[in-house]
Structure 1
Amino acid sequence: MTPAPTGARGLRVAFAGTPVFAATALRAMAQAGYEPVLVLTQPDRPAGRGLKLQPSPVKLLALAHGWAVQQPHGLRLDGRWADDAAAARAALQAAQPDVLVVAAYGLILPRWVLQLPRLGCLNIHASLLPRWRGAAPIQRAIEAGDACTGITIMQMDEGLDTGPIVLAEPLAIGPQESAGELHDRLAALGAELIVRALRLAEQGPLPQQPQPAEGVTYAAKVDKAEACLDWREPASVLARKVRAFDPVPGAWGWLDGAPLKVWRARAESQTAQATPGTVLAVDAGGVRVACGEGALVLTELQRAGGRRLPVADFVRGAPLRVGQSLAAPR
């Protein structure tokens, strides 16, 4: 098999990634002259009401540019998807990449992948490592009330986000910023930093700083069940959860026995002698709900099957009344 053509800058770069976060980096790399010699992305998944198979954003970008694509279900040569892994290895070997850039790929890279490129594998991670290693660093940073996060370009090893740091740059988290909004800013920063790292790689050995032993935290994947608001918690905690789980999976309470999505909210320190989850007031400024501490003011809501609406529009079509409970039905 004839190797794919080398990128305009001379460094042979392969890419592994799946969602929009990854596609943002891949597009920036190509614009900087680092067109991929091979793209790895997750297999097409069912989506939408018809559950039709949909290609990932990275695959769509690759197809639009005519880049070679592989979509293995797994990469372990001795696992369930051994045939997929063998095909991916053959494609990578034929492409002869100097480096593999990885961004939100969704598959664990076994040793054979990490060792195949001459310069190894560089990961674009959406936190300042070692804080928030793992699957959901953006959501967990907001949920925890962090004032700052950032992007780390990491030389990958066999651990979970444990490799040495090549580049890192902080990014302040806005006081009302949602995970979706922060995601877009981090994606742009990640794209900028990976291009910078590839340019450094062309000049010589990359800088590598071991991660600090202190400050390690893990960002577990977000489960839909944890997005159900527990009104016994402080309003400040619930406000952070609303931001952290926007747009996926969306924080929610209950209204008339059906889920009620809460997309925007703010915490107030006022106290009330009411059971947590009880509606305290309804007006054009928001729906005030009693919490374990303070009150949460809901300003953007969505009923099942409906649209996201400002609270003033929502209450016209689905009236809420003082004394009503938004807690889970018993």
Structure 2
Amino acid sequence: MRVIFAGTPEFARVALQRLHAARFDIPLVLTQPDRPAGRGMKLQASPVKQFAQEHGIAVAQPRSLRLDGKFPDDAQQARTAILEARADVMVVAAYGLILPQWVLDAPQLACLNIHASLLPRWRGAAPIHRAIEAGDARTGITIMQMDAGLDTGDMLLVEPMAIRDDDTTASLHDRLADLGGRLVVEALEMAACGGLTRTPQPADGITYAHKIEKAEAAIDWSKPARVIERRVRAFDPFPGASTALGGDTVKLWRAQVLPALAGAAPGTLLAVGPDGIDVATGDGVLRVLDVQRPGGKRLAVADALRGWPLQAGQRFGAA
């Protein structure tokens, strides 16, 4: 089976690695153009491109796939490469470009998408973040047959996964990436012998996982402690939950909810010590365990407090 792969970040690289290990013929990889990254803002290839180059797989990096769009030359070159690949299937995982109908029609059998949620819950760009933020007890992987809608296609394989109480987006991402890689190999092996069954998505329970914006990082201390704690985990590693303190911005990386009443205005520091920073919220107390001061590294509170004159009575969220 000849498989075109379209993806960009680490989540997609894991799937590409699984397909390559399973000895599928991969004549072409599509991935996003190189982006500036790091302190020097040098152009950096995506994890998918790096894997493809290491294994001698042809790579195309169009800025758009719309033949009538802003970059028609990019799209036309990609179209030539896709048609010449003569693929049976295209597998898409966190690619980052909308696929127009001509792309969906190009493979002989289908375009399959590896989506990190139990569809139709959390269609859209950030299903892992939003599942943790919402307090979902479980998520999973859906292998879906793509259509022109936003994650609306028929489901082919679905496998749930529990969300742990201490899961961050980073830790859940890694487990889901492994699951997605395994399931897409299973899906293609089943497709090769005609064993895949298409199931339409339910009409009920549709939610959208909108893209994470940096502006969401700021903590609203009037929210309940349990809500803030979930946001801290959901925004790890990006964009990182943050709060103002005396004109500085402090990032909070790990926290826990305490069974205590706040008894003070939201954001007030109730206690400061090596075990954590206890902060009043709109409902309950949040103990901050890992922090990052401006220009510093992520540290446990016991280490961060060295040389940081933080005291009870100060208030997070106040400039």
TM-score, with normalisation over the residues of structure 2? 0.99
Q: CA deviation at 1:318?
A: 1.7
Corresponding residue for 2:33?
43
The one-character-per-residue Cα deviations of 1:112-156 (angstroms, maximum 9, x if unpaired) are: 000110112000000000000000000000000000000000000
Q: CA deviation at 1:205?
A: 5.4
| Structure 2 SS opposite 1:316 | coil
AA at the equivalent of 1:129:
L
AA at the equivalent of 1:130:
P
Corresponding residue for 2:92?
102
Higher mean alpha-carbon deviation, 312-321 vs 187-196, is at 312-321
C-alpha distance in 1, partners of 2:317/2:286? Answer: 13
AA at the equivalent of 1:145:
G
C-alpha distance in 2, partners of 1:266/1:127? Answer: 25
Is the alpha carbon distance of 1:205 and 1:79 closer, same or farther for their aligned partners in structure 2, counting shifts above 3 Å? Answer: farther
Corresponding residue for 2:313?
323
Q: CA deviation at 1:70?
A: 0.1
Corresponding residue for 2:125?
135
Q: Does 1:286 align with 2:292?
A: no
C-alpha distance in 2, partners of 1:100/1:261? Answer: 40
- Structure 2 residue runs without a partner (length 5+): none
C-alpha distance in 2, partners of 1:230/1:131? Answer: 26
AA at the equivalent of 1:93:
L
Q: Does 1:116 align with 2:106?
A: yes
The one-character-per-residue Cα deviations of 1:160-202 (angstroms, maximum 9, x if unpaired) are: 0000000000000001111100000000000000000010111
C-alpha distance in 2, partners of 1:187/1:272? Answer: 39
Candidates 177, 197, 202, aligned match of 2:167: 177
Corresponding residue for 1:198?
188
Q: Equivalent pairs: percent with the same residue?
A: 60
Q: Does 1:270 align with 2:260?
A: yes
The one-character-per-residue Cα deviations of 1:31-52 (angstroms, maximum 9, x if unpaired) are: 0111411000000000111111
Corresponding residue for 1:213?
203
C-alpha distance in 2, partners of 1:86/1:154? Answer: 26
Candidates 132, 156, 174, aligned match of 1:166: 156
Candidates 293, 305, 308, aligned match of 2:295: 305
Candidates 71, 88, 100, aligned match of 1:81: 71
Q: Does 1:241 align with 2:225?
A: no
Q: Does 1:148 align with 2:124?
A: no
Question: Is residue 34–residue 45 contact of structure 2 (8 Å, CA) maintained in 1?
Answer: yes
Q: CA deviation at 1:317?
A: 2.9
Q: CA deviation at 1:210?
A: 0.2
Question: Is residue 269–residue 293 contact of structure 1 (8 Å, CA) maintained in 2?
Answer: no
Corresponding residue for 1:63?
53
Q: CA deviation at 1:279?
A: 0.4
Corresponding residue for 1:90?
80
Question: Is residue 246–residue 318 contact of structure 2 (8 Å, CA) maintained in 1?
Answer: no
TM-score, with normalisation over the residues of structure 1? 0.95
The one-character-per-residue Cα deviations of 1:225-262 (angstroms, maximum 9, x if unpaired) are: 11110000000000000000000110011222111010
Q: CA deviation at 1:273?
A: 2.6
Q: Does 1:28 align with 2:18?
A: yes
AA at the equivalent of 2:175:
R
Question: Is residue 277–residue 288 contact of structure 2 (8 Å, CA) maintained in 1?
Answer: yes
Candidates 62, 65, 84, aligned match of 1:72: 62
Equivalences, count? 319
Question: Is residue 242–residue 250 contact of structure 2 (8 Å, CA) maintained in 1?
Answer: yes
The runs of at least 4 consecutive aligned structure 1 residues that moved more than 4 Å come to none
Candidates 25, 48, 54, aligned match of 2:44: 54
Corresponding residue for 1:257?
247
Q: CA deviation at 1:272?
A: 2.7
